[in-house]
A and B are shown apart, each in its own frame.
Chain A
Amino acid sequence: MTAARWARWLVCVLVALTLALPSALAQPSGNLVIAGRDGVFGDALGLATTWFAEQNPGVTIELLRLPYAGLYENLVISLRERSGAFDVVMLDDTWAPEFMAAGWLRDLEAAGMTINPGFVRSALDASRYPFAEGPLYAVPHVGNVLLFAYRTDLFEQYGLARPGSWTDVLAAARTISERAEGVHGVVFRGIRGNPIVTGFLPLLWAHGAEIIDADGRVAFDSPASVAAVETFLALKAFAPVGVEVYNASEVRDALQRGVAAMAIEIWPSWIPALDDPAVSEVVGLVEIMPAPGQVAGPSPMLGSWLLGVAADARNPQAAQAFLEFVTSDEIQRRLALEVGLPPVAEGPYTDAAVVERFRWYPAQLEALQNARARPRIPEWSQVESILGDYLQFVLIGQMTPQQAVTEAHRRIESALRR
Chain B
Amino acid sequence: MLHRSQNLTRILLLLPALVLLAALTIYPLVPVVYYSFFDYHSVRGFEGFVGIANYRRLLGDLFFTVSLRNTLVFALLATSSQLLLGLAFALLFNRPFRGRQLFVPLMILPMILSTMVVSAIWRAWFHYDFGFLNNVLRAIGLDGVRWLFDPNIALYSIALVDLWQWTPMVFLILLAGLQSIPGEYYEAARIDGANGFQVLTSITLPLIQGHLFLVALLRTVDAFKLFDKVYALTGGGPGIATESVSTYIYREGFRYFNVGTASAASIIMLAVALALTLVYAGRVLQGQRR
By the criterion of a CB under 8 Å from any partner CB, how many residues of chain B are at the interface?
A: 26
Q: Measured between alpha carbons, how far is A193 from B127 in the docked complex, in Å? A: 21
When the two chains form their complex, are residues B43 and A242 in contact, meaning their CB atoms are under 8 A apart?
Answer: no
Residues of A within 8 A of B128 (CB): 240-242
Q: How near does chain B come to A361, taking the closest CB pair, in angstroms?
A: 33
| Chain B residue contacts of A378, Cβ below 8 A | 43
Contacting B at CB under 8 A, from A238-264, are 240-242, 244-245
Report the contact-size class of chain A (Cβ under 8 Å from the partner): 20 to 34
How distant is the Cα of A187 from the Cα of B63 in the complex, in angstroms? Answer: 28
With contacts defined as CB atoms under 8 Å apart, how many contacts are there between chain A and chain B in the complex?
A: 66
Let me know if A73 is at the binding interface, CB within 8 A: yes
- Bound-complex Cα distance A222 to B81 (A): 48
**Contacts of B232-258 to chain A: CB distance below 8 A:** 234-241, 251, 254-258
Q: Give the residues in chain B near A395, CB-CB below 8 Å.
A: 238
| A132: interface (CB < 8 Å) | no
State the majority secondary structure of interface residues on A: helix
A202 smallest CB distance to B (angstroms): 22
* Residues of A367-418 contacting chain B, CB below 8 A: 378, 381-382, 385, 389, 392-393, 395-396, 398, 415, 418
Given A241-B129, A242-B146, A242-B149, are A80 and B43 also a contact pair (CB < 8 Å)? Answer: yes
Interface contact B258-A418, CB-CB below 8 Å: yes
Distance in angstroms from A139 CB to nearest chain B CB is 23
Docked Cα-Cα span, A191 to B236, in Å, equals 9
Q: Is A161 close to B, CB under 8 A?
A: no
Q: Does B162 contact A (CB under 8 A)?
A: no
Tell me the minimal C-beta distance from B30 to chain A in angstroms: 20
A242 to B233, CA, bound (A): 13
User: Does A285 reach chain B (CB closer than 8 Å)?
Assistant: no
Q: Are A241 and B146 in contact (CB under 8 A)?
A: yes
Also in contact, A385 and B237, with CB within 8 A (given A241-B146, A418-B39) = no
**Set of chain B residues within 8 Å of A393, measured between Cβ atoms:** 239
A245 lies within 8 A of B149 (CB): yes
State whether A192 touches B256 (Cβ < 8 A): no
One digit per residue, 1 when the CB lies within 8 angstroms of any chain A CB and 0 when it does not, for chain B 255-277 equals 11110000000000000000000
Within 8 A of A (CB), among B191-211: none
Which of the listed residues A73, A98, A242, A382 has the most CB atoms from chain B within 10 Å of its own CB?
Answer: A242
6 smallest beta-carbon distances between A and B, as pairs: A242-B128, A192-B237, A244-B149, A396-B238, A382-B256, A245-B149
| Chain A interface residues (CB < 8 Å from chain B) | 69, 72-73, 76, 80, 98, 102, 191-193, 240-242, 244-245, 378, 381-382, 385, 389, 392-393, 395-396, 398, 415, 418
Which residues of B are in contact with A by a Cβ distance under 8 Å? 39, 41-43, 63, 127-129, 146, 148-149, 151, 234-241, 251, 254-258
